[in-house]
Structure 1
Amino acid sequence: MRIIKMWTKVLLVLIVMLIALEIVSSFETTFNIYTTSHQLFGKVEPEFIEGIFAILFYFIARRYLKIDIFHQKGGYSHIFKEGWLGIFYIFSNIFLVDNSENWNVFMHHMNAFNLLMIFVIAFIQAYSVGMFEEISVRGIIMGIMLKNFKKYPVMKSIFFSSVIFGCLHAANFFEAPFWDTANQIIYAVGLGFVFGTIYYVTKNIWVSILLHSLIDYSNFVLSVSLTKYSATSSYSGISLVTILTLVLGLISSYLFLIHYNRKQGKKDLLF
């Protein structure tokens, strides 16, 4: 009965999340970005309404679900420890992926106003999305699971909340190529293990929000060009990078949790 109530609460949270995302999409504002020669380069969407819903979710969690999402302060160094995989993707988005065409436009074919639009609006978008997804998935859904799973609550909570986090991206099947979305779902599950571990270890949702936002920001800024809005898929199947993200996310999450438990005086391999 306890588990049934838990999954009922999780389902209700997911329904509210989907309603919120539908409202966000109906109020979506798109800003066009032009080069100095007045050619349309790309589009950016602030999505600040997701940040408003994130704050609303926080108050719902505290008042009605009795979940204290913001347990404690500090712990930002864990972004570089447990969050090493996320940091790798931030640097990869900036330096390793071939973004030479975008950088060339940024540096030589765009005025200061449009350049500022890209970086400022992408920041608002990334932080709003990061807040919404971390508070709802890690703070509320994972919080519900931690309170209700009796056997191996930590492992189950991080695992199931990460799978849910990945599946939420399935909504992109309606507007993005199939394999792009399939890769995004698996990729999100792998990073979900990282975000869940960081939140559990630090007890500070702002740490996972920051890492999540930085990953999205590094991606959003360099995904502005119109080629990213075309129906052409970037993938023809599940990529090796996607599989590695899933596997490395899962393994590193488990190893860091064991290390954390050892520091707490616990020697169990399942927890």
Structure 2
Amino acid sequence: MVTELANLKSISKSFGGIHALRSVNFDVRPGEVHALLGENGAGKSTLMRVLGGEIIPSQGEVVINGKRTELRDPRDARALGIVVIHQELALAPDLSVAENIFLGELPTLISRFSLRRRAKQLIDRLGFHIDPGRLVGTLSVAHQQVVEIAKALSQDIKIIVFDEPTAVLGAQDAMKLHQIIRGLRDHGVGIVYISHRLDEVFDIADRMTIMKDGETVGTVATTDVKIDDIIRMMVGRPIANMFPERSQRTIGAELLNVKKLNAGRMV
């Protein structure tokens, strides 16, 4: 019986002489939020670009629904129900909200009424009020992200990746997003959640995988660890050593005092 929606096995990726990923293992199960954690440059986004078909790994296997799969581009991933929502939103600013949501299926003859009605239903489902006829370029970044999520929900998704989703959201909108994520989880969708905000990760994630320097440090159940444990795994040293105490020293008498210094145009 297949228990994973996706399983990335021993994934490696090099860019020239730089090893971005080294034999990384990661899986996504139906009906869970799996957080992917690590410092900047740990390889999190690169790994998700592999899952989203944007990057072809140098080595390793991508297994989707128990079958080894070659994801050659994002269309292959979307056809399998995999959607990645990046920090850099992929929207057309000169098109309307509705047109952006259904960009991939726009017919030759567009029924604007039908398009906007369907878009409104999706946005209402997310708990936001955005005019589906408004140009995306006029929206706030937070509302643009809502359009990206609605765009994902317009498809038959099995896995959705959120890359730093609350970085541009206020507290109230972040709470709405977490409600959306829990609803997706309850409907069997597998969710990958990337965030530096460990407090919200502990609030929403079922499992966590920690990466460091392009490698997997470990995968743990959220209930089995504390924030200090995760930080130690991320940085490779105990939290007590992150901010060592400064040695005590006495500030001496003044050694230099400059007043009204002038050197033409130089000073």
TM-score range, shorter chain: under 0.3
Q: As a proportion of its length, which structure holds more helix?
A: 1
The TM-score normalised by the length of structure 1 is: 0.24
Q: As a proportion of its length, which structure holds more strand?
A: 2
The TM-score normalised by the length of structure 2 is: 0.24
Larger Rg: 2
